Structure 1
């Protein structure tokens, strides 16, 4: 698994893809989404801790953003477990 150091924090390629997608995403007024659910928040918090990436959790995410981060963290954890 490759990683890069950004602001003193090691960031894996999966996390870099999530960061890049966040920078590209533009939300138009007619595309405003709902905030993430409590279940998503709990899942994202536990996965971010398990993947040693607590900064992937943010309380103000939309449901779609939370789904993307959850999928990325699950993929990263599965990759790490495969070694």
Structure 2
């Protein structure tokens, strides 16, 4: 039995799909907060934006722990 409406995952689409507006706003805010404006680029893929957001959040958390 197959569930209808469930999209099949395609890694190529995931890696090339443009970041969402929400990701862009969050990445811009985090890059400003971390004093790393070069981390923001409006032409990033969804996956690269997610990776940069994760890295910046970890860096900010580390800096706030001191």
TM-score (norm 2): 0.78
Runs of 4 or more, structure 1, over 4 Å off, are none
How many residues are treated as equivalent by the alignment? Answer: 54
Structure 1 vs Structure 2 CA RMSD: 1.2
Unmatched tracts of structure 2, length 5 or more: 1-10
List runs of 5+ in structure 1 lacking aligned partners.
1-29
Higher strand share: 1
Larger Rg: 2
TM-score by length of 1: 0.62
Tell which has more relative contact order, 1 or 2 (C-alpha 8 A, sep 6+). 2
